[in-house]
Amino acid sequence: MKKPTYNRVLTLLIRQLWIWQIICSLYVCSTQKLFCDDISKLYMSAMEAFHQKDYKKAIQDWEQILQMDPKQKNPVNLIQMAKAKIQDNIKSEINEYNKLIASGEYQKASDKASQIIERDTANYEFTEQKNKLDKFIKTVTTSIIGPGKVNDLLRKSVSAYLGKPKDERLPVLASRYAWQIGKVSQVTKDVFVFMDKEFTVISRLEVMDNSKNVVEQKLEAILNAIYDGKYEYAIFECELVIELEPDNIMAWKRLGSVYYAQGKPNQAKSTWETALKLAPNDEELKKFLQRIK
């Protein structure tokens, strides 16, 4: 379905107002007429606001109409149209916010989030995300910038904490892994402790082995799962390791092996080919691929 054009929306608004004014003219009772006039004024105000691209004001007017007369049908659709317009207008700002999060510039991201929320006050999900970000900034740090594996893992942990991606294991395990391989950093410890407190259920379920780091633990668990025929679990864990270390050849190999064991040669081939791009001289991968050709 095509989105209604700007002119089409204005036409619909004018038509709705015209119909409503006709209805109002039929009322004889002064109370009814006053009520009808109030709604007409709100429709006029909303139409003017929409025309001026003040979508926030238009939404407020339509919401007020619904409070006065819940049987009104058009405001619901018009509110959705206005919200879509707001999203279109702030798309570039949201992209900038996402880039700031990915690069670890959390205070700047919070400031950008404030600007976005000012323009889209009804975006409760984004407001909740900003509240979480501000809690992290206040408790841990305003930024995690710079190259290196440890910083990459910490940024992944924070992004996952904010729901990017929506996997509650990642905030805990990425920060834990960063702490295991970079204990000298105070911020690494602070992020690790913060995530453990925020996701207590995950931190308890994902029991830490003092003799192995997170990736070593997971690779061992994957191998055991393959031997036991628990292929879905093995895939689940492979994907986690790859999220933590996209260049982990062993995780790619085992993921391909799971697909092969499941009778999915095309997926196995694609997975092993991805691994071979990362390790073009790996003879074992070449042998794996020869099985399928």
User: Which of 27-41, 112-126, 138-152, 215-229 has the least mean pLDDT?
Assistant: 27-41
Backbone angles phi, psi at 207, to 5 degrees: -65, 130
Question: Alpha-carbon torsion 252, 254, 259, 263, what sign?
Answer: positive
User: What beta strand segments (E) does 116-260 contain?
Assistant: none
Residues 96-106 pLDDT 10s: 999 999 999 99
The pLDDT value recorded for residue 20 is 54
Structure tokens at 187: 């911020």
CATH of domain 156-292: 1.25.40.10
Burial grade of 58 (CB within 10 A; 0-12, 13-18, 19 or more): buried
Q: Where exactly are the structural domains of the chain?
A: 6-86, 89-139, 156-292
Q: State pTM to two decimals.
A: 0.76
**pLDDT per position as a tens digit, 225-240:** 999 999 999 999 999 9
d(CA 131, CA 128): 5
Residue 193 structure tokens? 């402790």
pLDDT at residue 15, rounded to an integer = 61
Do residues 165 and 239 lie in contact, with contact meaning Cβ atoms separated by under 8 Å? no
Residue 70 vs residue 114, higher pLDDT:
114
Which pair of structure tokens corresponds to residue 246?
């996209």
Number of Cβ within 10 Å of residue 15's Cβ equals: 11
